[in-house]
Amino acid sequence: MTTVHLPAGSGLDAAALALLPTPSLVADLAAVERNLAVAGRQAAGTSLRPHFKAHKCTRLLRLQLGQEGCPVTGATCATAAEAAVVVAAGVTDVLVANEIVDREPLELVASLAKQATMTVAVDSVAGLAALETRAAEAGSRVGVLVDLDVGQHRCGVLPGDPLVLELARRTAASDSLELRGLMGYEGHAQHAADAATRESLASAAAAGLAAERERLIGAGLPCDVLSGGGTGTLAAHGRIGVLTEVQAGSYPLMDEQYGEVGVGFETALWCLASVISARPGHAVLNAGMKELYGEDGMPRLGLVGARLEDGLSDEHATVHLSPQTELAPGDRVLLAPRHVDPTMNLHPHLFVCNAGNVERWDVDGRIG
Ligand SMILES: Cc1ncc(COP(=O)(O)O)c(C=O)c1O
């Protein structure tokens, strides 16, 4: 009999987990569904455009897109390759919320635009010209959101820069492109430690987008879409009501980075690991950096009286046990990942547990 040590309050089924291969990722479907319901409530006042990059699993994306009672505008992707997977799975409206400059992915987006409504973030004349060329060659029409830097200082044009209007005008004048609006992702706000700070950073980002929309409209240009936000600012944007869609991705599965700052969602993703070596006070698990992305900090071990040693080995995690806690080789434990996106990207499948039933869902977008 394999002993599975379930985290306190977990609805997972120990008998089902005893039969799975380790190390592997498991999702608690009931927790996922509760997270979707919370997201639906938080999003009141805006819409969701779930970000596929968080989990890269089209079956999970389908659950998000089919959520009843919650306006969902389509899917968000980080790359053209992810978009191809999502379109092949039947999604008809996809935003690549990222700049694309290489020929091959631009060609891919241009060809996908024949089957689905495709939109791409753009922040340079060169990027826009390259996208226009590929769309014209393909005979398709690709939507554009002019990307604004609303404080993260990653991609995007600074609000007020004349380039915003220039990109919008060039897009509107093109036969192969369609100006859909503006994007501004406030990545710097997502993991701010308290809800008030997240809300004030989200408000500032929304205000920057709204001001630029006024400039576009004043110049006679369309601006139907204001896209941005994430799991950390979804509730804020639901209240602010300026964004037309929020690109949240982590909320169905969640991770420790978000759990730490309290964004209203619960842990639904665990890494199931086996104890492969043990002596009093000490145990070693068969999951390390190759199963649990560790650069953003350590995962959380769901076992009372046990503490992970700081730092993962390639294939191992070391556990320090209190005198009252025992683990034996073959025992199984669960670890909550620190960062969902890069952890999912390490696994070919997700074992989705619904009480005692387990289904294997492919992480089919991993190639992107
Ligand atoms: C462009 C963009 N939009 C939205 C998100 C939000 O994702 P999450 O909800 O997982 O924080 C991210 C995350 O990195 C992102 O890069």
The atom of ligand 1 lying closest to the CA of 258 is 11
Q: Which of 185, 191, 246, 293 to mutate to test the pocket of ligand 1 (most atoms within 8 A of CB)?
A: 185
The atom of ligand 1 lying closest to the CA of 248 is 9
Q: Rounded to the nearest 10 degrees, how much is the dihedral formed by the CA atoms of 100, 102, 107, 109?
A: -20
- Cα of 63 vs centre of ligand 1, distance in Å, is 19
- Cα of 73 vs centre of ligand 1, distance in Å, is 16
pLDDT band at 318 (very low <50, low <70, confident <90, very high): very high
- Cα of 78 vs centre of ligand 1, distance in Å, is 9
Atom 6, ligand 1: residue with shortest CA distance = 230
pLDDT band at 349 (very low <50, low <70, confident <90, very high): very high
Q: Rounded to the nearest 10 degrees, how much is the dihedral formed by the CA atoms of 153, 186, 180, 143?
A: 70
The mean pLDDT value for 177-190 works out to 98
CA distances from 180 to 117, 120, 229, 327 (A): 11, 10, 17, 57
The yes-or-no verdict on residue 50 having pLDDT over 90 is yes
The yes-or-no verdict on residue 144 having pLDDT over 80 is yes
pLDDT digits (tens, 9 = 90+) for 126-140: 999 999 999 999 999
The atom of ligand 1 lying closest to the CA of 121 is 1
Sheet of 75-77, strand order: 75-77, 93-96, 117-122, 142-147, 177-184, 225-228, 245-246
Q: Element (H or E) spanning 217, and its range?
A: helix 195-218
Instruction: Output the pTM of the full model.
Output: 0.97
- Cα of 247 vs centre of ligand 1, distance in Å, is 6
pLDDT digits (tens, 9 = 90+) for 242-271: 999 999 999 999 999 999 999 999 999 999
- Cα of 258 vs centre of ligand 1, distance in Å, is 12
Q: What is the pLDDT of residue 301?
A: 98
- Cα of 185 vs centre of ligand 1, distance in Å, is 7
Average pLDDT, rounded, for the chain = 97
pLDDT digits (tens, 9 = 90+) for 114-129: 999 999 999 999 999 9
Q: Does the Cβ of 198 fall within 6 Å of ligand 1?
A: no
Q: Does the Cβ of 249 fall within 6 Å of ligand 1?
A: yes
Q: What is the pLDDT of residue 69?
A: 86
Atom 1, ligand 1: residue with shortest CA distance = 97
- Cα of 341 vs centre of ligand 1, distance in Å, is 10
CA distances from 252 to 30, 322, 340, 358 (A): 10, 33, 10, 18
